[in-house]
Amino acid sequence: MLLAIPDILSRENALALRKAILTAEWIDGNATSGAGAASVKNNRQLPEGGKVTRAAQETVTAALMSNAAFLSAALPHTVFPPLFNRYGDGETFGLHVDNAIRFHGGTGARIRTDLSATLFLTDPDEYDGGELEIEGSFGTLSYKLPAGHMILYPSTSLHRVTPVTRGERISCFFWMQSLVADPMEREILYDLDQSVQALSAERGKADKEVLRLTSVYHNLVRRWAEA
């Protein structure tokens, strides 16, 4: 499942976050890559343990945990501490797949990567190139979203960031382990939850059929979730 989620951060807050992280010292992005990705990666990143990074991570994590669409789609068990990258003229990240397991040296977090996410901190008209292209059974899709918007996609997907040819692309990216490992089961739960929410708004949460569907949803979560 690929899902574009608007307004994880408001545009104002996204631009403020970008301004804050630009004051920090950035490092070669290859310093945080696995061997496979490093050969096709040419960008810069914030150091994982820096003070500015930690403050930015707290901002993004708080926004994620209060976003109903993200929680419904991802059913997050563990969210890897968000990271931040930037691409200037000629910088790119070639076709690759994310590592199945991510380890964060600072926190000791080790997660299975079920889902990947990119939260855009730059508006599309501020740079040329820099599209996030994702390949899968759905074909190749290209994303360049407004500041504060996020794309959520399977970590199993081959993906790339095309070369930036003007301006600068600054984003937040991270991975998560879902409570429900199977992508088909996770998509079924998301569709069911969206129907429950729509019917709740139309009929009220106390409606008999709404309660029946709510029970089905939670019983499926119990059946499929890995606590």
What CATH code would you report for 183-224?
A: 4.10.860
pLDDT of residue 155: 97
pLDDT for the residue 104: 75
pLDDT in tens, 30-40: 866 555 576 89
Mean pLDDT value across the chain:
95
Class of domain 3-178: mainly beta
Q: Is the pLDDT of residue 181 over 80?
A: yes
Cα–Cα distance between 217 and 225 in angstroms, integer?
12
pLDDT of residue 46 exceeding 90: yes
- For position 132, what pLDDT does the model report? 98
Domain ranges of the chain: 3-178, 183-224
Comparing 23-32, 174-183, 191-200, 204-213, the range with the smallest average pLDDT is 23-32
